[in-house]
Amino acid sequence: MAVGFVVVFLVSVPLVKAAPQPNIVFIMADDYGWHDIGYHGSEIHTPHLDKLSASGVRLERYYIQPICTPSRNQLMTGRYQIHTGMQHSIILPCQPYCVPLEEKLLPQYLKEAGYSTHMVGKWHLGMYKKDCLPTRRGFDTYFGYLLGSEDYYAHTRCYHNVTHTSCALDFRDGEEVASEYKGQYSAEIFSQKAVSLIEKQDHNKPFFLYVSLQSVHEPLQVPDHYLEPYGFIEDPDRKMYAGMVSAMDEAVANITAALQRTGHWENTVLVFSTDNGGQTLCGGSNWPLRGRKGTLWEGGVRGVGFVAGPLLKQSGTVNYELIHISDWLPTFVALAGGSTNTSKPLDGFNVWPTISYGVASPRLELLHNIDPLYTNGRLCPKRRNLTLASGDSWSSFGFNVSIHAAIRSSNWKLLTGDPGCDQWFPRPGDNTSDSSQPTENPQKPVQLFDIINDPEERIDLSDEFPEVVNHLLSRLNQYQKTAVPVNFPPNDPRCDPGATGVWGPWA
């Protein structure tokens, strides 16, 4: 009987080893001004931030939101705030709402991709019921504040209403109240906790660490030894703020050193970002940009940001591509090898090729915000009134130009309504007057700037380029059609931290 033979030829195919999932460390500063980092020419010393960013990629056209909660919301959802109902203001302590529970957050995506997830610091995305807490939204561990504006040592948050003032502890370890840290400075506690978490991480499992520092938000508080280098600063608020920046710089140094010491650094992508522009009322500076925190001017929305780590292909560079805080979620999920396929479309883009390889950004347009409830209640010198009469010529394009809104497309930026305090605050220590302050004439409800050539927003070109204005108004109108109603409920009378001495879920 014939016997058949099957000859198998083995072809040698080179094995392509899958890149390991990188650890992701995101450090967020609070109210950190554009001018307040050394490499932007500040008189404040930031040696660690300067060195770390110089070894990575500095993001010079990086945008955040003008206030706290919206920035954190877009970081965690990858979606514009008009699509989550959070387009107006921050979450106030006794408001019964949070980032909508049907929104999938960044740590949830990363957990699906096999990551352990940890958060240290300020949450401020809602806490009126337990389902809103960080540990219920994807974080394995949490340590920090649920609200904002806490005392840096007592870790209490005071809240004023019509009849009385309530001050209560706002500090959690997981979901449990943590009262044993009273008297310890928050920047030091948070960096120590971050270091401890890094030291415990398994090298065989990737981790995501979100360090949301309280620094450098008011109240202005810092240990005295951080003030010693700043005897030359005469403004007491600026001097205190400078010391707080130095404390933050040291905290970032300690976190980075822990990554290096434990061997995690070689497989880590580290991002540093502010959450909004600096608050000029509390020592911050965005010079030479116009405006401040809470405004749609560049001083409110252009943020200090950089990426560091050995995984960058073009380190030691400066990036001028358009990047937004909503881009981090799709970028990190892509790095993790995860999927962003959800029922809710993302507004962010994967910008890792842009950051690491220097290719053009996939983002060509950026909606800063559309907030129909906006009112500007903070002190603003030489405040100008808004005139709507000159906006009549744009009324046929469907968008109500009295609404506080701004959009960026290519080199153009269009602002409508009242963008907020429109001053150019002088460089710290410069007591000379600025002859280029806005005139006494009322503000126009439609203003157009060439941000690439005029980053200080000094020359309004709306009358010269009506076709650009028309196009951007039509884009705002399209965005407005996709917006969900603003969610900004009144305070819940059941919220009474004075009764328990502790802030936390009450519903």
Q: Which domains does the chain have, with CATH numbers?
A: 23-363 (3.40.720.10), 367-482 (3.30.1120.10)
pLDDT-derived band at 13, boundaries 50, 70, 90: very low
Chain segment 100-141, per-residue pLDDT in tens: 999 999 999 999 999 999 999 999 999 999 999 999 999 999
Chain segment 404-453, per-residue pLDDT in tens: 999 999 999 999 999 999 999 999 988 665 545 776 677 899 999 999 99
Q: Are 424 and 38 in contact (CB under 8 A)?
A: no
Q: What is the pLDDT of residue 5?
A: 43
Whether 98 sits among the annotated catalytic residues: the reply is no
- Token pair in block for residue 151: 């005392």
Residue 2 has pLDDT above 60, yes or no: no
Instruction: Name the active-site residue from 48, 124, 324, 368.
Output: 124
Residue 3 has pLDDT above 50, yes or no: no
Q: What is the pLDDT of residue 390?
A: 57
DSSP string covering 195-215, please?
A: HHHHHH--TTS-EEEEEE--T
Whether 124 sits among the annotated catalytic residues: the reply is yes
Phi, then psi, of 407 in degrees rounded to 5? -140, 145
Is the sign of the CA dihedral 364, 76, 185, 56 positive or negative?
Answer: negative
Output the 3-class SS for 56-82: CEEECCEECCCCHHHHHHHHHHCCCHH
DSSP secondary structure letter of residue 259: H
Total-model pTM: 0.94
Residue 496 has pLDDT above 80, yes or no: yes
pLDDT-derived band at 164, boundaries 50, 70, 90: confident
Q: Are 503 and 170 in contact (CB under 8 A)?
A: yes
Residue 4 has pLDDT above 70, yes or no: no
- Token pair in block for residue 306: 């950089």
Residue 291 has pLDDT above 60, yes or no: yes
Cα–Cα distances (Å) from 161 to 261, 491, 492, in that order, read 48, 10, 12
Instruction: Name the active-site residue from 35, 40, 48, 68.
Output: 68
- Preceding amide of 216 cis, omega within 30: yes
Between 17 and 308, where is the model more confident? 308
Q: What is the pLDDT of residue 434?
A: 56
Q: What is the mean pLDDT of the chain?
A: 92
Q: What is the pLDDT of residue 165?
A: 78
Q: What is the pLDDT of residue 49?
A: 98
Q: What is the pLDDT of residue 382?
A: 74
Q: Each residue of 36-75: b (16+ CB within 10 Å) or e? A: bbbbbebbbbbebbbebbbebbbbbbbbbbbbbbbbbbbb
Chain segment 55-103, per-residue pLDDT in tens: 999 999 999 999 999 999 999 999 999 999 999 999 999 999 999 999 9
pLDDT-derived band at 14, boundaries 50, 70, 90: very low
CA distance 88 to 482: 16
Query: Taking residues 239-244, what's their average pLDDT?
Result: 98
